[in-house]
Structure 1
Amino acid sequence: MSRRAVVVGAGPNGLTAAALLATRGVEVTVYERDAQIGGAARSAELFGPGFVSDLGAAAHPFGVASPAFRELALEQNGLEWVQPEIPMAHPLPGGRAAMLHRDIERTAQELGVDGPNWRRLHEHFSHHPFETVENAMGPLLRIPPHPVDMVRLGVLGALPAATLANLVFRSGAAKALLAGSSAHATLPLTRPLTSAFGIAFGALGHSTGWPVAKGGSVSITDALARVLLANGGRIETNAEVTDLRDLPRADAVLLDLTPKQILRIAPEQLESRYAAHLARWKYGAGVHKIDYLLDGPVPWEDARVASAGTVHVGGEFRQIIEAERDINRGRMPEKPFVMVTQQSAADSSRTHDGRQVLWSYAHVPNGTALDVRPALEAQIERFAPGFADVVLERREWSPSALEAWNPNLVGGDIGGGSMAGTQQLFRPTPSLHPYRAGRRGLYVCSSSTPPGGGVHGMPGLHAARAVLRDWGRRD
């Protein structure tokens, strides 16, 4: 007799779990509260026909290298990655920028005195990108699939990014380049393990790149849905689940939800100890997002930045450290760390008539109601004088607006919960089996489980494998 599974939430993790189970012959139904599937992997023509903006995630260094997406063969199901000329740029005062090239030798050469140490720090992992991702994209409390490589990453990756940068680099350019990538952790860069983020992001830039999805991040969602539907799965939209007891009978229920939503829909169905741990879950810093339609390219002082897919607008090393420290203390920095993605510079299908779509967000305190736009735009203007003159239209999303759009983005937290303290090791509860939700047949597959946020499907992959393992043990 065939097994049945229900997935609540059609974000990339829920769809990944559903698709993988469907390929194993499981009868799967996905319930999504919204009219559209995809969670934070959606796109829309915000500025009219032919101008495609990503509503959530934009660039995908971990997506292109994801074991989950490779196992599901998304590139054979309509997904096409588009690589920008330069994966990432980091503008600096004085009109220059540090550049992360696909070519590690070119990057090292441009970093001058720090080139040899940059190469030594990233070279091994850039030669083994898939092993690096397989090690990093799972529970930390496990035997990694590539133990020797994990030890190599852990030796330096365990250090705070601020410490590592000061230990191995002398120039502001190399320090800023590492700090900008490490800031993807949305943690103070004086915290342990933040270096691992910087090393991994840099190594992927030198190997598999930091691509965008052609036609928008929704293309990832569409490919996942094709795999699911082709294997007999079903998706029900406009179908919000408010109580687990309302779901049809299933052998496994997988929740692509964060602890706040899990407690809301299952107040009496969870074991008391598990529910108590979820109630103590802490959400991390948020983001304030602005999408732009521009009358041409951003006028970066360093013209090379216009060819970069992702731009880290944070200034010097010390300024990034201060900004990330402030937001994690609940203070809005004067000069926030701003992420910019120039998708249309890489993917011409997203725009026309010489205009550009631009994606940006600033790291902010969780749930802040402050007017962030002036500080965000001032940061861009610092390194691109005249930016305001090319802005035709903008769409702004505060942390509360992001949460209203997608309830998993609590207070604007795009990572499913803080990575600080024990929450980096134990997501969402202290357990060696993080994808089991404390009772038989119930699982969690959201970014609140390892490895955390991002559009790569790995929580969904691990949760689906946990289901299959549990069934194997009981059969």
Structure 2
Amino acid sequence: MAAALRLARAGVRVTVVESYDEPGGGLRSVTDATVPGLVHDLGAGFHPLLIDNPFTREVDLIAAGVEWAWPEVQFAHPLDAALDPGHGAAAYRSVEETAAGLGRDGAAWRRIFAPLVEGWDELAVDALQPPLHVPRHPVGLARFGAQAVLPAAVMARAFRTERARALWTGIATHGFRPPTVPMSSAIALMLGTAAHKYGWPVAVGGSQRIVDATTRLLAEAGGRVETGRRVASLDELGSPDLVMLDTGPGEALRILGDRAPALTRRSYGRWPAGPAAFQVSFAVDGGIPWDYEPARRAGTLHLGGSLADTTSAERSVERGRLPRLPYVLLGQQYLADPSRAQGSVVPIDCYAHVPAGWDDGDAALAAVVDRIAAYAPGFRDRVVATAVRGPAQLFAENPNWIGGDIAAGLVTPLRLAWGARPSLSPYDTGVAGVHLCSAVTPPGPGAHGLCGWNAAGVALDRLERAAAS
């Protein structure tokens, strides 16, 4: 939708073709997953990079009806008392408040994040653009890059306490990789800085409101959305000037067919799938009774234990084994947006990292419940209803999520830099006029519309050059 809006606002006649009955993909909200009336986000629930980026500086989502709300605590990482007497750590909008809660590691947290928050407006201009460009702020970008390329486990050595290492590692593991892999620090730096700069907000009424707003804005710009139609081949599209594929490499190959050049066929055909998500929606009476008090006020919870625990769990997942206690990313959106609840019953949305294609739903659900209950005794007694979506269902809902991989492929350094195909432009497919605009292109998954926005910018440049010639 970001790509469609950029093109439509530049005067291009745009049609968005969606294979399902409604637009949105992973950005959906429903009121019938557990208890009728509870608003559950079935995909993205928090939007830290959407408040102020190149897309939303041009597209006013607030004027289009999106209302943002913030939890008091942006994210928290509970720990066993044996690991940390304080039972965990929490991140606030303020770097100073966060550092104060980290004791002797507060200074290290401040050294990492205070300069990034202060210089974020300049850094984001370069860090969120396509990789090949002339940096406007090369010194800041180089400083960020020197840290971003490191494994999160290496950056964790800056901390002396388990609580600070766990807080850092919890953010890094959003990337579905062990914290020992190169560039796993990049995700932690981006999301941690965004938490301190803008917070991790939710859309009041559910993330679906963002889709509703962009769809309405596209119509106002002269574009339209056609649902319930799955494109089988470029041939059925006629001869448009541009085609933007919001797909994974496999789906792109299917659509490109014989037009795909050899390099594209090789690169897209070898695109590696990553671990899967096992998504769970809970209806909980009275909320989750966390032992760690700040967790009761946190919008997002990272449940992974210590750095060693998280590393072990993520390695098990990559080897095809379900960890006894997997990494769980849990959202308490209702804390920022109480309208999502029904009386004392509140919605909880979470997912665990599981092996690709994992099909033992009972084992995965038990592991998720065990992980939560380890930090919240009494949780089981408060659960009113549960709904799950395993890897097979996720893949059925979205063919980009092969084996339930909601990151649309393994997050590797080359992917973050170059996308799915080695090229001067990661958005090119090798077929004239056809571009990738999905999360397989930089800046990567979770970048809130910027993959599409950047891809549309490249496509517009090509159109303008063609018209000039």
Shorter-chain TM-score: what band?
Answer: over 0.9
Equivalent-residue separation in structure 2 for 1:181 and 1:365 (angstroms): 20
Single out whichever of 57-66 and 394-403 deviates more from structure 2: 57-66
**Which of 286, 290, 304 is the equivalent residue of 1:300?**
290
Match of 2:279 in 1: 289
1:116 aligns with 2:103: no
Q: Quickly say closer, same or farther: Cα 1:237–1:449, change in 2 above 3 A.
A: same
- Partner of 1:175, secondary structure, is helix
Match of 1:106 in 2: 97
Once the two structures are superposed, residues 402-437 of structure 1 have per-residue CA deviations (whole angstroms, 9 ceiling, x without a partner) of 111111111111112112253332211011111111
Q: Quickly say closer, same or farther: Cα 1:138–1:329, change in 2 above 3 A.
A: farther
Once the two structures are superposed, residues 68-108 of structure 1 have per-residue CA deviations (whole angstroms, 9 ceiling, x without a partner) of 12321112111111110110010011162201011111111
1:161 aligns with 2:148: no
1:85 aligns with 2:76: no
Equivalent-residue separation in structure 2 for 1:374 and 1:48 (angstroms): 21
Structure 1 contact 307–345 (Cα < 8 Å) conserved:
yes
Structure 2 contact 415–440 (Cα < 8 Å) conserved:
no
Structure 1 contact 178–198 (Cα < 8 Å) conserved:
yes
- The structural deviation recorded for 1:262 is 1.2
Single out whichever of 71-80 and 354-363 deviates more from structure 2: 71-80
Single out whichever of 194-203 and 213-222 deviates more from structure 2: 194-203
Match of 1:4 in 2: none
Structure 1 contact 295–355 (Cα < 8 Å) conserved:
yes
Match of 1:330 in 2: 320
Match of 1:368 in 2: 358
Once the two structures are superposed, residues 150-175 of structure 1 have per-residue CA deviations (whole angstroms, 9 ceiling, x without a partner) of 11111222211101112x11000110
**Which of 24, 27, 30 is the equivalent residue of 1:38?**
24
Match of 1:384 in 2: 376
The aligned amino acid for 1:20 is R
Instruction: After TM superposition, list the pairs within 5 Å mapping 1:150-229 onto structure 2.
Output: 150-166=141-157, 168-229=158-219
Structure 1 contact 65–129 (Cα < 8 Å) conserved:
no
- The structural deviation recorded for 1:249 is 2.5
- Partner of 1:33, secondary structure, is coil
Per the normalisation by structure 2, the TM-score is 0.95
Structure 1 contact 66–457 (Cα < 8 Å) conserved:
no
**Which of 202, 220, 225 is the equivalent residue of 1:230?**
220
- The structural deviation recorded for 1:350 is 1.0
User: Unpaired runs of 5+ in structure 1?
Assistant: 1-14
Once the two structures are superposed, residues 306-338 of structure 1 have per-residue CA deviations (whole angstroms, 9 ceiling, x without a partner) of 110000011112111111222223222112110
Equivalent-residue separation in structure 1 for 2:376 and 2:126 (angstroms): 38
- The structural deviation recorded for 1:48 is 4.7
1:138 aligns with 2:129: yes
Once the two structures are superposed, residues 93-126 of structure 1 have per-residue CA deviations (whole angstroms, 9 ceiling, x without a partner) of 1162201011111111111111111101000111
1:96 aligns with 2:87: yes
Equivalent-residue separation in structure 2 for 1:208 and 1:415 (angstroms): 23
Single out whichever of 304-313 and 405-414 deviates more from structure 2: 405-414
Equivalent-residue separation in structure 2 for 1:132 and 1:456 (angstroms): 17
- The structural deviation recorded for 1:376 is 1.0
Q: Quickly say closer, same or farther: Cα 1:234–1:387, change in 2 above 3 A.
A: same
User: Unpaired runs of 5+ in structure 2?
Assistant: none
Equivalent-residue separation in structure 1 for 2:402 and 2:124 (angstroms): 27
1:402 aligns with 2:394: yes
1:273 aligns with 2:263: yes
Match of 1:454 in 2: 446
Structure 1 contact 89–311 (Cα < 8 Å) conserved:
yes
- Partner of 1:74, secondary structure, is coil
Q: Quickly say closer, same or farther: Cα 1:420–1:329, change in 2 above 3 A.
A: farther
- The structural deviation recorded for 1:186 is 1.3
Q: Quickly say closer, same or farther: Cα 1:214–1:131, change in 2 above 3 A.
A: farther
1:54 aligns with 2:41: yes
Match of 1:429 in 2: 421
- The structural deviation recorded for 1:250 is 0.8
The aligned amino acid for 1:62 is L
Equivalent-residue separation in structure 2 for 1:134 and 1:394 (angstroms): 42
The aligned amino acid for 2:138 is P
- Partner of 1:267, secondary structure, is helix
- For the aligned residue pairs, the C-alpha RMSD in angstroms reads 1.4
Single out whichever of 32-41 and 196-205 deviates more from structure 2: 196-205
How many pairs are equivalent? 460
Structure 1 contact 345–356 (Cα < 8 Å) conserved:
no
Equivalent-residue separation in structure 2 for 1:359 and 1:134 (angstroms): 32
- Partner of 1:245, secondary structure, is helix
Structure 1 contact 57–455 (Cα < 8 Å) conserved:
no
Match of 1:9 in 2: none
Percent sequence identity is: 39
- The structural deviation recorded for 1:134 is 3.5
- The structural deviation recorded for 1:145 is 4.0
Single out whichever of 37-46 and 405-414 deviates more from structure 2: 405-414
Per the normalisation by structure 1, the TM-score is 0.94
Match of 2:58 in 1: 71
- Partner of 1:372, secondary structure, is helix
Structure 2 contact 73–298 (Cα < 8 Å) conserved:
yes
Equivalent-residue separation in structure 2 for 1:136 and 1:415 (angstroms): 19
Q: Quickly say closer, same or farther: Cα 1:153–1:421, change in 2 above 3 A.
A: closer
Match of 1:18 in 2: 4
Single out whichever of 228-237 and 60-69 deviates more from structure 2: 60-69
Structure 1 contact 42–218 (Cα < 8 Å) conserved:
yes
